[in-house]
Amino acid sequence: MIIRSVIEGVGSYLPENIVTNAELSKRVDTSDEWITERTGIKQRHIAPKGQNTSDLAIAASKVALEAAGMDGRDIDMVIVATTTPDNTFPATAAKVQAALLKPGIPAFDVQAVCSGFVYSLAVANNFIKVGQVGTALVIGAETLSRFLDWTDRTSCVLFGDGAGAVVLKAGKGEGTSADRGILSTHLHSDGRYFDILQADGGVSSTQTSGLLRMKGKEVFRHAVVNLAETAREAIEANGVEFKDVDWLVPHQANLRILDSTSEKLGLSKDKVIVTVDKHANTSAASIPLALHQGISDGRIKKGQLLLMETMGGGFTWGSALVRL
């Protein structure tokens, strides 16, 4: 018998305000045609002033807790994956804890940009596996619209705001790929690529949060290779094959990246959960948002094998193989 971290509930939240490509093309020199063809994105949700990352995180968490049949008192630890915290400190997780959870539990943020959710899932999984906590709330939440350069058409069209959350609970498994729960996580980084996808400021360097800067073509090139590699290691580590995977639930950056990766892996497009068209890239929120979308529309079912994979600034990248 081994301990597995089982996903007991999933939730998400998207701000009400939707901005279409056509609306965006009134603000910057772009078009629906260009954005759709190069990225697959049709629209994104943008949080109004006053609605912060913690508000999105709390809203998503309420849905996840309800889905798990739990309330805040049942949670032993909370992690928020975010690049767009409400404040430089304390952690956004502190606000979630104060709003929903017991005082005294560990609450912290993880900063791994678009890989933040998979990184956080790995951290929570390890806390559960060593028996330090019995439950964990893991959230990806972002208000990326706040640190975009809205005059830079090469980046501002790509991102959106939102949040997704999962409730993990310790369960028992046999140590095989038939177990429910997180079967493996693999995390990577390579800081030599720091400048390719970054905020051009920070507390220490400029005393500002900076704005998002990206060399899109280089990110694209690395993403396709790194995502395929980390997907393969997840499969190999568990003695399964790609044909056993029910759903690829990838980080949603660009439809062309999703298509190239699934093609490289020999996975049919029908097995890929795609939300980038409606949400754009919501960084750490994109995987739990996609997971919740797939569950809500009835495609993803309990007992199915899910492969999550992601890549983001740092570079950071990683994967998680999960049986729901």
126 is a catalytic site residue: no
- Contact with ligand COA (CB under 6 A): which of 39, 120, 275, 282? 39
- Contact with ligand COA (CB under 6 A): which of 4, 95, 153, 279? 153
* Residue in this structure with the two tokens 């260009």, named with its chain if needed: 34
CB of 254 to ligand COA, least distance (A): 4
281 is a catalytic site residue: yes
Position 217 contacts ligand COA (CB under 6 A):
yes
- Contact with ligand COA (CB under 6 A): which of 36, 51, 111, 154? 154
Binding mask 99-128 for ligand COA (x = CB under 6 A): ---------------x--------------
Position 157 contacts ligand COA (CB under 6 A):
yes
Site residues for ligand COA, 264-293, by CB under 6 A, read 281
Q: Which single residue brings its beta carbon nearest to ligand COA? A: 216
- Contact with ligand COA (CB under 6 A): which of 32, 38, 189, 271? 38
Instruction: Tell me how far apart the alpha carbons of residues 163 and 63 are, in angstroms, rounded to a whole number.
Output: 11
Site residues for ligand COA, 7-36, by CB under 6 A, read 30, 34-35
Position 83 contacts ligand COA (CB under 6 A):
no
Considering the candidates 21, 45, 52, 114, report the single residue annotated as catalytic. Answer: 114
- Contact with ligand COA (CB under 6 A): which of 10, 224, 253, 321? 253
CB of 168 to ligand COA, least distance (A): 24
Beta bridge partners of 12: 164
Instruction: Print burial letters for 198-207: b (CB count within 10 Å at least 16), e (below 16).
Output: bbeeeeeeee
- Contact with ligand COA (CB under 6 A): which of 12, 21, 254, 319? 254
Nearer to ligand COA, 77 or 196 (CB): 196
Position 224 contacts ligand COA (CB under 6 A):
no
Instruction: Tell me how far apart the alpha carbons of residues 14 and 170 are, in angstroms, rounded to a whole number.
Output: 29
292 is a catalytic site residue: no
Position 214 contacts ligand COA (CB under 6 A):
yes
Instruction: Tell me how far apart the alpha carbons of residues 27 and 297 are, in angstroms, rounded to a whole number.
Output: 33
Q: Which residues bind ligand COA (CB under 6 A)?
A: 30, 34-35, 38-39, 114, 153-154, 157, 214, 216-217, 219-220, 253-254, 281, 311-312
